[in-house]
A and B are shown apart, each in its own frame.
Chain A
Amino acid sequence: ILNVEQSPQSLHVQEGDSTNFTCSFPSSNFYALHWYRWETAKSPEALFVMTLNGDEKKKGRISATLNTKEGYSYLYIKGSQPEDSATYLCASQYNFNKFYFGSGTKLNVKP
């Protein structure tokens, strides 16, 4: 079992703040890194999939970077809004078929 770690566990920010989370993962046999957004009572929804070292992806105010050599990824949210409140999961994919998830970062954005 591979250990994927996310930090912080939870985060409380004010509307308009920018924030970032970290996902660290073992680099051996790495295939891809996934970020998901998971709202309460819903299913996880894919945000980004990144495979190459140095990859950067952006969707609106949310962006992510990947460093496969040192085994970490950052997720950034610029100008947080209350609707960004959710748990953000990362998952590391190995040999295409195995997925290992972190326990998530729970973000609460106060109006």
Chain B
Amino acid sequence: EAQVTQNPRYLITVTGKKLTVTCSQNMNHEYMSWYRQDPGLGLRQIYYSMNVEVTDKGDVPEGYKVSRKEKRNFPLILESPSPNQTSLYFCASLGTLYNEQYFGPGTRLTVT
């Protein structure tokens, strides 16, 4: 089954404690992206990757890092999380044939 997986699904952590949210897709897509969703706002793009070792900033990259060492994986790293990073995070991959974006199940992060 074609899918994008994320882990963990829920995470409560404290300010300053480094964390990683993993994202993996099994569709051999080159393009992957991370979004955050906050109440009253649309999904906002954090980082995207066009291919292995090719990443670039979206609109809200501050406080986040990403890496793309393998095509299927695109982890999101928060080196020193702060309460304003409390949000719902989605990873997505984009198929080039029909240009459809596939979303993971989401990770709800709370930083206290």
Contacts and interface: CB of A to CB of B under 8 A. Distances in A.
A46 B31 contact: no
Given A1-B59, A101-B42, A102-B42, A46 B90 contact: no
Interface residues of A, number: 23
Interface in B16-52: 31, 33, 35, 40-45, 48, 50
A46 B45 contact: no
B56 interface: yes
Contacts of B56: 97
Contacts of B50: 97
Report the interface size class on chain B. Answer: 20 to 34
B98 A49 contact: yes
Contacts of A34: 100-101
Contacts of A1: 59
A51 B4 CA distance: 24
A19 interface: no
A102 B37 CA distance: 11
A36 B94 CA distance: 14
A43 B90 contact: yes
A99 B105 contact: no
B106 interface: yes
Given A49-B98, A98-B58, A99-B33, A43 B104 contact: yes
Contacts of A51: 99
Contacts of A93: 99
Contacts of B58: 98
7 contacts: A42-B105, A43-B105, A44-B43, A97-B31, A97-B48, A98-B48, A98-B58
Interface of A: 1, 4, 32, 34, 36, 42-46, 49, 51, 89, 91, 93, 97-104
